[in-house]
Chains A and B, each alone.
Chain A
Amino acid sequence: MPKCSPMATASVQNELNEKLGDACCYHCGEHLATPALFFSVINQTQQPMCCAGCKAVADLIVESGMSSFYSQRTHYAETPPAELGQNPYPSYDLSELKLDSDHSATTDGQKVLFLIGGMTCAACSWLIERQVLKTPGVKTARVNLTESTLSADIDANTDPVKLMQTVAELGYRFQPFRRSERTKLLAQENTDMLKRLAVAGLGMMQVGMFAIALHAGELQGMALEYQQLMRWVSLPIAVFVTVYSGGRFFVSAWSHIKYGAVVMDLPIAIACSLALAASVYATLSATGEVYFDSVVMFIFFLLLARYLEHRSRFKASLSLQKIQDQLPRLATRVRGNTTEQCSIKQLSYGDRIRIFAGDTIPLDGIVVRGVSDIDESTFTGESVPRSVRPDDTLFAGTVNIKQTLDLEIRSEPDSTKLKALEDAIAYAETQKPKVAQIADQIAGVFIIGILSIACATAYYWWQHQPEHALWIALSVLVVSCPCALGLATPAALTAAAQRLRQLGAIIRGDNAIERLSQIDTVIFDKTGTLTDGQFECVETIILGEQPAEDYFALAQALQSHSAHPVASAFSNATHNDPTDATLRTAIQALRDPSAQYAPERNAQGLSFEHVGHAYLLGNAAFLTKCTLEGQWPTQNLHWLGLSIDARVVALFGLRDKLRPDASKLVNDFKSSGLRTVLLTGDASPHARSLALKLPFDDAAFGLSPQAKLDYLSRLHQRGHKVLMVGDGINDAAVLAQADTGIAVSQAADLARAKADIVVTNLDLKPIRWAHVLARKTRTVIKQNLFWALSYNVIAIPLACLGHIPPWLAAIGMSLSSLIVVLNSLRLKTLARA
């Protein structure tokens, strides 16, 4: 669904849209396809809302007397999550908070720091501050929009968790925050750069003033005594600025030369020192020209450009990604005969937890029940899984890929897993995209070329007009700008990644965007991807002697060991004990966490043996050896059969729903000229009827993970570039092999780990946006490279001919980098088209 484009004011935009017969949600700007079902009264006007979440937030804002938020905002708010009413932070207590954030006790209270996700403009920060200040016990609250943080002073006995709930009610994501060492370092660097910039700026004003006097004096005739005065005053200022503000260029140029690398700082350092030395000589000998103003201006403009670039990178590094990755992950704790969901932080040494297939192991521990395979590729790089059985040790961060295991925790709940994940992300960030690598190589060659051209130019002018030789050579050194070349790609990719994060998807590694822009085929998984992954049992056929509830309870007990989406159909079964003894013991065995029983699982179903009886639950292909009275039903449902001792006793007809935006997604891809393919493990008639509703160019049913891979490699052989959209463990291999993999929200950990892009919203829209954004990014990169090249091709010959004075050259160089950055920043405002 498209969002309304960035607005002049929300009300104007809304009026416009209503005239066009196309209304927007007043809160988040979502287009309303149907007449609005929800309304809120804001500033005495009834405004349409797209969902209950938006209405709840808008009503809260109005009730708190903060409706001027709507007149002051410059961007629409994020769409709040649908389950807004629930408290998303039940699992934090104060001690964990102290561990997780820069929490400190002050003389009369405590100081806490939080990271906030979902702030779109300055009005959001105002809204959050007001709301937090209303909470009893809060003394000060201050939002830093650049860092997306809130720092608050609160009473010693006020619970900071309350603050988190307050902000969550407004539809923002919220989390305790600890500044990492890297962030602190970046903040320190930010301060240093600002200081250098300030010194260069003030110095530029002073030296510029004297330079104007000197130039005017040349025209009007100025006594040598006063000329020398101006020069002598300029000299110490220029030297101070060069050393204090420009020192970095010399240090960086020198440290790169030591390793044989040539960077842009080298020509800069040469130009600065040449110009400064010539000016100092001219001052001491009272002859020639001085270039103090050029040197200082040059340094100022360079620092300005670098500061702006640093600022946009600084913002990106305070990644909101963290807020997604570090949200308290849940684990299933086993206590006696029951299981409960709890935050990983609440687990301690000796607790038992259940790890379903596809889950990441949260803490180090030993297996107490079950047999499975473990993918340890995150640690060892070894792709062959390790088989484990009771008493084997498992490590945090590895992934259970086959069957349910029970684990006893043998490590303190420190951040082993997060450490591994952070390392993985850091690794992805260091991978430079190919285009950027090439640009870096070109830049190196380019700089050597520039140095030679500058020497040749200086030599030529020295032969003909020696008085011009120095400043023309300086101009050549300064005007050339490999920075623009070097920035062209990373600037665009960073901006795109940031925008995509706002739109609800996280990119792992920069290469993903580049590859996504080139795809020509999209493969969709069905269950959990195009459908919402929630099954419901709509038909039950009983062929055995026991009542339906008892068979259902058995199916539920079997499926409780499975993470397959089908299991969701049985999750709400009753826990009553069947009268039949065989059934009862089987169910008890399955529910008993201390016993060593767990069903065997494969793609088609579950099998379980207990005291001589064999229990099978699966589709028709899985139950071929079992006798069935009558035929499998032909109704368009996903049918599962339950068999006891090779006799089918019950059939369950399941149905999964298409996600509301699935058909639009497939249609959009189709209409932008891509091949759309459906590959599903589901062979039921239901899957076929579902596939017919959507415009697929090709569809294959009942595929095993290997068959999906084969299909993909056939596409690759024909030279297709493929995007895979999936969610399950069975898609993980295809996600990794495809040119680009996108894992939808709620995907299994393994699928998330193998995907290049992970959707964090609950819907499918970000997939389409990611593709549009990737294509747009490619265009922007091309524009950037074209601009950087043509600027240099035009500017360098002009400088060689002596048409560009050094100060203009400095501006030109800085501007050409700035234009690249600004062009890239256009991606950040890309509408949700």
Chain B
Amino acid sequence: MSEQNEKNMLGKKISRREMLKITGIGSAGIVIGASGLPGILNAFGANPFVDDDDTAVNKIKFYGGHQSGIATPIPEHVYFVSLKCKAKTKQELKEMFQLWTNQSAELMNGRFVEPLSDNKLMPPADTGEAKGLDASHLTLTFGVGPSLFENEAYGLAHKKPKELKDLPHFPMDQLDPQYVGGDICIQSCADDPQVAFHAVRNLIRSARGKVTMLWAQTGFNSYPKSKNKKKETPRNLFAFKDGTENPHVDKPQDMNDVVWIQPGESKGWLAGGTYLVARRIQMHLETWDRTALQEQEATFGRHRDSGAPLGKTGEFEAMELDRKENDELVVPEDSHVFLAKQVKDRILRRSFSYSDGINPKTGAFDAGLLFLSFQKHPKQFINIQNSFGKEDKLNEYITHRGSALFACFPGVKKGSYLGAELFQ
């Protein structure tokens, strides 16, 4: 948290919240650019437009054509939270996202959400646990769920894309209502778990009364360091590599084909946005751990240690689904990979493992995968998931417990705010 928060030129500080009210930023369409009058604005102790601070350490940009936390590299930690929206009007909802815009930019700069007040009888404006930590590649990704559009108070029904609806029931689903749906989601990713948590905590705190938490899930990924310093594909808790066949996040064409909604492909406000599927998948570690290696590999259709397709040696070698040995398919047709390959659809997987203590009913580990995927249309995920159906050998070892779909806004232009295209 940098000392830039401590600016206090007139000896009087105005909170960012107040500043928003004073300037009417966003609501009145006033855009104050970075080159505007920063000196004068800073004199108020708060700047109504918080820019990316390129000097911040381990920083990812907040502003841009797309939200962060999608095409950006997958960091080690996530705090994902699904919220119920209690804002009474569309205006309140919009103001909340305006406040979150500035706070997100500050947080991703590795700073406090708001400068602290001189009044020591006040609780600190920032909860403070990220003090001394750098930005840690924090990304904040915001999305809205189908239920938000059903709230008549917001008058957003006509802006709801027809594909934004609860995911269908899949054959082996055993959803726990405790982990289903939500009006709004925040995906907070960082290389440091405390930085990721701090961001969500402060965003929720500043919106208390306008949102309540429905469910949340933390997750982690660990990256073995390879010799050329290139990040290797992380392993899930079954020890298999997860994410090998992802689209190339640095190839715009690939991302435009798979992830980013193009103008005309959905409602206008979603151009540049994407759909986020969240699934909380319980993994039955105890049963997996007593399964023979040969069976484990046949379940995924890959070799465990190398990550290579069965019968191959390199992780990134192409999968040959037709290849037979002794009249049998090398990659079994009920393996996870084989079934996934039956559909042409692709998705960007950005999953994290989780470990939540023990299941009180069974005494077993409560552990698994917070599956997060991004795609321009939910049907990409639905087709793949349906292809697994009842056949997937992996079903024996996993149970889908949580499910939600969110439409993620496009990126925020400097001077604008999260969801501006939807709320204006």
Query: Is chain B a partner of chain A in the same complex?
Result: no
Q: Which B residues lie at the A interface, using CB under 8 A?
A: none
